[in-house]
Amino acid sequence: MFEIITKKSNIYFFYLYNLALADVKHWSRKDYNELFLITTGGALAEDEKRLLIQFQQVILKLEKQEKPIHLADFFYSTNQHSTPWLKLKKVINRSDYEIIFNTFKKFEKRFDEFWMKKLREENKTIQNNLAKNIKLNENRLKEIIKKLNILYGANQSLDNISKTPLFLIPLPEEITGGGGKFIPPLKAVVIECSNKRASKARTLEIIIHELVHLFFEKEHIKELFILAEQNLAQEKSKELIKPLDIPSVVFGLKEIIATSLTIKYRQDEQPVSSFSRLLIFTSRKLQPEIDSYFVKEKMIDEEFIKKTLHFWEEYLNTKNKKG
């Protein structure tokens, strides 16, 4: 059940990508970067800074062009012997390719040091503990999938979903958080966790959250999100997304609803960003609606999305009143 992949080059890409986007993406983890630099000799040298800025510019340009190119689609791989360079060379210009290649070469020594000091010994243990966590919660996973099938109007099974590759990013014990993302072209999930978190319920919840994006957000659901955004005045859309530093209302709706269905927040949860605080607020507000829809075997509809937008706006109004 689930192939957990711990390929060193996948892990190197993750840490370098996170480092490059530290000051431009709300999800980039500063604590990862700080520990990475402290462990590998301290602050960046001037030549490292210049190269990292160039790398960042290439990433942002490729992701924003008419046909976006995401480096994750090339650098994450289930094959222990494959390399991304030949494929990448065919789809980007020479200048961009050289910047990416030179950045990887430049930071290779730092990453090798970080790997040896912080990750190598823990890697296999984290993998084993995560596998045990998934296996022990097999029945729970089946129940969650049943619920998601009703709410998203889907027909998924654990047998089908468990073919998804999980790219494990091991985290040192000093890192208390974790995270995840999904990679549509690879039908895969990236999961970040330390040995301490590998056995926790939250890590399983994050995996399920990413699986929602991969398997349950089908066209009829996406159309509801797009319609909801189109029905908002342009100024209202800006009011909803600008304070949270997110790209669109559709993105926000996807995250709010998937989070509300998969993540159980503790009462003492300490969110790290305004968007995280929104997710906690709306998740709690939406629980009675979710329970009602599940009991009635109703699929997410326009009314559900209207209530989600209402709670989103309520959060921002509450935030503004607090100053």
pLDDT, tens only, 284-307? 999 999 999 999 999 999 999 999
pLDDT for 27 equals 73
pLDDT for 157 equals 95
Mean pLDDT over 122-139 rounds to: 95
Sorted by where each begins, the domain ranges of the chain are: 3-196, 217-322
- The pLDDT mean for the chain works out to 93
- pLDDT of residue 266 exceeding 80, the answer is no
pLDDT for 187 equals 94
Mean pLDDT over 226-243 rounds to: 94
Which residue, chain included where needed, has tokens 């709300």? 26
pLDDT for 78 equals 84
Instruction: Give the containing element (helix H, strand E) for 277.
Output: helix 274-295
CA distance 250 to 261: 17
- Give the torsion through C-alpha atoms of 259, 251, 286, 145, to 10 deg: -50
- pLDDT of residue 26 exceeding 80, the answer is no
Helix (H, G, I), strand (E, B) or coil at 7: coil
pLDDT for 322 equals 65
Structure tokens at 108: 């290779």
pLDDT for 319 equals 76
pLDDT for 25 equals 78
CA distance 265 to 286: 13
pLDDT for 278 equals 94
Mean pLDDT over 172-180 rounds to: 91
Helix (H, G, I), strand (E, B) or coil at 175: coil
